[in-house]
Amino acid sequence: MASVYAWVSQALEILLALAAAPLLTGWVNICRARLQNRGAPSIWQPYRMLRKLFRKESVLAEHASPIFRAVPYVVWSCMLLACAIIPMLSTDLPLSPAADTIALVGLFAVARVAISLAAMDVGTAFGMLGARREMLVGFLAEPALLMVLFSASLITQSTQLAHIVAALSHSELAIYPSLAFAGIAFTMVSLAENARMPVDNPSTHLELTMIHEALLLEYSGRHLALLEWAASLKLYAYSCIGLALFVPWGIAQARDPSAMLMALPLLCLKLLAGGAALALIETLNAKLRLFRVPEFLTTAFLLAVIGMLTHFLLGA
């Protein structure tokens, strides 16, 4: 039976994800604008956009089915559940034992299939184009993400993120070659999964290059707000997965309320540094041609596999 402290930790993590995800998106946009010598938008701009969209009426296509209406809620729920099982402030989470790393990847897959079905449901040319591209990226990114998670699970002998964080945070400070390869692979997968440069450009609406934006062209109002919020939650979830795997220090252990108070500002500092690093990567890289994306993700998969082989051969 989970303790009261565990449920409080779980509630705080969910509330933090809901509140901080748009803030992280705003911070990345500011850093990218500054690095590109452009006027930076307000860090509160994502919140203003969500408020404006929630106030607008949702306009549906004439032949839209119930799937089209339900998908924004499904995608948003999947992203929120993913954030709920990732240890951000504490490893004492009641929902964490219910889903391991494989189930976490499955949640991302469910959201991807749902949004692709919604894009194909209306039958527009751009929706079909975006759905096919999204499924291609997912088909190549998911195995690479699984290999990254398996590299960490082999070191800790567990596939649950809470156990992985607890084991890595208490281990001696050392450079694991397997985690080094896995870290590079995870960065590449994260860029692809979150529609970031060099795989996709989140700020473009050019029909021949867009992937994520093509899936949202037929949505408006609260439905579009939920999907934009879900995109921010996904970026936040991937950021927290990376912190849990590669920078786990500072996350509170079970039944340690004082440590959780210290974990919150440390998590904020990590996210600020990670958002600035993401903006720098996007600024230094140009958009890849679409037929180069499979090569990019195949490289990520091979690096993750090399990380696993390094663990088997060197035990590190």
Query: Per-residue b/e over 205-237, b at no fewer than 16 CB within 10 Å?
Result: eeeebbbbbbbbbbbebbbbbbbbbbbbbbbbb
pLDDT value for 300:
92
Backbone angles phi, psi at 27, to 5 degrees: -65, -40
Q: Where are the domains of the chain?
A: 4-314
- What are the CB-based long-range contacts (under 8 Å, 24+) for 106-109? 107/78, 107/79, 107/81, 107/82, 108/78, 108/82, 108/138, 108/142, 108/145, 108/193, 108/234, 109/138, 109/142
User: In this predicted model, what pLDDT tens digit does every residue of 286-299 receive, in sequence order?
Assistant: 888 888 888 999 99
pLDDT-wise least confident of 91-95, 196-200, 258-262:
258-262
pLDDT value for 65:
85
Q: Which of 46, 188, 190 is nearest to 108 (CA)?
A: 190
Average of per-residue pLDDT values in the chain: 85
pLDDT value for 1:
46
For residue 89, give the DSSP letter. Answer: S
User: In this predicted model, what pLDDT tens digit does every residue of 60-118 receive, in sequence order?
Assistant: 877 888 888 899 999 999 999 999 888 888 877 888 777 788 888 999 999 999 998 98
Q: What angle do CA 255, 260, 261 make, to 5 degrees?
A: 135
User: In this predicted model, what pLDDT tens digit does every residue of 267-276 receive, in sequence order?
Assistant: 899 999 999 9
Q: Which residues pair with 252 in a beta bridge?
A: 90
Length of the chain counted residue by residue? 316
- Is-contact 133 214, C-beta < 8 A? yes
Question: CA-to-CA distance for 308 and 137, rounded, in angstroms?
Answer: 22
User: In this predicted model, what pLDDT tens digit does every residue of 8-60 receive, in sequence order?
Assistant: 888 888 999 999 999 999 999 999 999 988 888 889 999 999 999 999 988 88
- Four-residue CA torsion sign, 221, 223, 227, 232: positive
Compute how many other C-beta atoms are within 10 angstroms of the C-beta atom of residue 195: 21
Q: Which residue has the higher pLDDT, 2 or 314?
A: 314
Mean pLDDT along residues 226-251:
90
The helix (H) or strand (E) run that includes residue 275 is helix 257-284
Q: Compute CA 2 distance to the chain's CA centroid, rounded to the nearest angstrom.
A: 27
